[in-house]
């Protein structure tokens, strides 16, 4: 019984990491339709920003989070302005362009910071475990679960409770008509892209105490992020959250029944079957696209 409880918590923890990584992509890909293959590199930039702030300014990663958000968001904003904005009517070319951006970012970090794995210290106050009976929960992982839910709520509020969110939803539904009503679609897209990139940056900063910080860390993560968004359904935040939970728990349970390698295969096979029957994901949104 304890084994199953522990494994359920492990699944929840994996789900929270997936959610926080995929949320930025859910905005960029889900809302704007840009297949952003550089998403993993935004995560990586966030990790390195956290590392830089810890090494050079002595910030704990929690303190560094707002700065990381702004810094990576700014990078995203520049990239949107300079490259992605010119390609909205050529969706296939954005794949190539963002892939190229990803490689450039990766190599820039490699050249400037170095290829070796960097050490980022986790926050002191979140070290240790909380134990309930036979259930062991790492405090940092509990924090990640809570934080990812908070970011989800904040994003949901931004989209539904603010004027900016209303404009964004209008642009998503029909860009031309929104522009007729005086919404500056270009501007809205830039901010949205920057917000998505900033979220990816936060994700990168938050996973540094658990993962290895290297220039190539984003390449594996972007695959996970796309899986979550596709399973969840384009443009649906609820879908993203549900898909993260589903994939995290499924990975944990398959890994309990078999092992991590076979578990991963089983999850991917399950996703293929799911997409066969629900090609638009679990919670498809009813936008015009």
Partner 1 sequence: MKRRKFLGGIGAVGTASALSAPALLSTLSRASAQGSDIPVGLLFSLTGSVAVVESTLHDAALMAIEEINAAGGVHGRQLRPIIEDPASDPATYADRSRRLMIRDKCVSVFGSYTSASRQAVLPVTEQRKNLYWYPTLYEGRECSRNVMYGGAVPNQQQDELIPWAIENFGPRFYMIGNNYVYPKEENNYCKTLLAKHGGEVVHEEYVPLGHSDFSSVINRIRAEEPDVIFGTVVGDSDVAFARQYHAAELDPAKMPTISLTRSEVEVKAIGGEAAAGHLSSAPYFMGTQTPENERFVESYKSRYGGDQVTHFVSEAAYFQVYQFKAALEKLDPANITPEAIRDAAVGLTMAAPQGEVLIDENLHTHLWPKIGQWQSNGQAEVVLQSQERVAPLPYAAYEGQRCTGQGLVQG
Q: Which residues bind partner 1 (CB under 8 A)?
A: 2-3, 6-7, 9-10, 13-14, 17, 103, 107, 110, 115-119, 121-122, 127-129, 136, 138, 140-141, 209-214, 216-217, 219-220, 223, 251-252, 255-256, 259-261, 263-264
- Residue 67 or 211: the one with the smaller Cβ distance to partner 1 is 211
- Residue 5 or 70: the one with the smaller Cβ distance to partner 1 is 5
> CB burial class (10 A; 0-12, 13-18, 19+) of residue 248?
buried
Q: Secondary structure of the chain in the HEC alphabet?
A: CHHHHHHHHHHHHHHHHHHHHHHHHHHHHHHHCCCCCCHHHHHHHHHHHHHHHHHHHCCCHHHHHHHHHHHHHHHHHHHHHHCHHHHCCCHHHHHHHHHHHHHHHHHHHHHHHCCCCECCCCCHHHCCEEEECCEEEEHHHHHHHHHHHHHHHHHHHHHHHCHHHHHHHHHHHCHHHHHHCCCCHHHHHHHHHHHHHHHHHHHHHHHCCCCCECCCHHHHHHHHHHHHHHHHCCCCHHHHHHHHHHHHHHHHHHHHHCCHHHHHHHHHHHHHHHHHHCCCCCCCCCCCC
- Residue 128 or 279: the one with the smaller Cβ distance to partner 1 is 128
**How near is the Cβ of 211 to partner 1 at its closest, in Å?**
5
- Residue 104 or 119: the one with the smaller Cβ distance to partner 1 is 119
**How near is the Cβ of 6 to partner 1 at its closest, in Å?**
4
**How near is the Cβ of 31 to partner 1 at its closest, in Å?**
24
**How near is the Cβ of 10 to partner 1 at its closest, in Å?**
4
**How near is the Cβ of 122 to partner 1 at its closest, in Å?**
7
Listed residue (135, 117, 145) closest to 6, CA to CA: 135
- Residue 98 or 155: the one with the smaller Cβ distance to partner 1 is 98
Listed residue (122, 84, 142, 88) closest to 210, CA to CA: 122
**How near is the Cβ of 3 to partner 1 at its closest, in Å?**
5
**How near is the Cβ of 262 to partner 1 at its closest, in Å?**
10
- Residue 88 or 211: the one with the smaller Cβ distance to partner 1 is 211
- Residue 60 or 287: the one with the smaller Cβ distance to partner 1 is 60
């Amino acid at each position: 019984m304890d084994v199953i409880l522990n494994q359920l918590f492990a699944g929840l923890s994996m789900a929270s990491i997936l959610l926080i990584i995929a949320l930025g992509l859910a905005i960029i890909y889900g809302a704007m339709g840009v297949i952003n293959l550089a998403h993993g590199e935004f995560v990586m930039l966030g990790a390195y920003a956290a590392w830089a702030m810890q090494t050079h300014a002595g910030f704990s990663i929690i303190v560094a989070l707002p700065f990381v958000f702004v810094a990576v968001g700014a990078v995203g904003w520049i990239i949107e302005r300079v490259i992605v904005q010119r390609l909205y009517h050529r969706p296939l070319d954005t794949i190539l362009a963002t892939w190229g951006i990803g490689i450039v970012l990766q190599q820039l970090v490699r050249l400037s910071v170095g290829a070796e794995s960097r050490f980022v210290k986790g926050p002191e106050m979140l070290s240790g475990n909380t134990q309930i009976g036979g259930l062991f929960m790492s405090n940092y992982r509990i924090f990640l679960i809570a934080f990812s839910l908070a970011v989800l709520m904040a994003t949901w509020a931004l989209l539904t409770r603010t004027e900016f969110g209303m404009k964004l939803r209008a642009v998503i539904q029909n860009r031309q008509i929104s522009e007729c009503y005086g919404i500056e679609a270009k501007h809205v897209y830039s901010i949205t892209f920057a917000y998505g990139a900033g979220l990816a940056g936060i994700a990168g900063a938050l996973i540094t105490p658990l993962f290895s910080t290297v220039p190539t860390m984003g390449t594996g993560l972007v695959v996970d992020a796309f899986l979550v968004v596709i399973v969840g359904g384009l443009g649906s935040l609820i879908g993203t959250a549900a898909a993260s939970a589903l994939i995290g728990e499924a990975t944990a349970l398959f890994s309990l029944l078999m092992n991590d390698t076979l578990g991963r295969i089983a999850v991917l096979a399950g996703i293929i079957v799911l997409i066969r029957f629900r090609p638009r994901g679990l919670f498809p949104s009813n936008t015009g696209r």
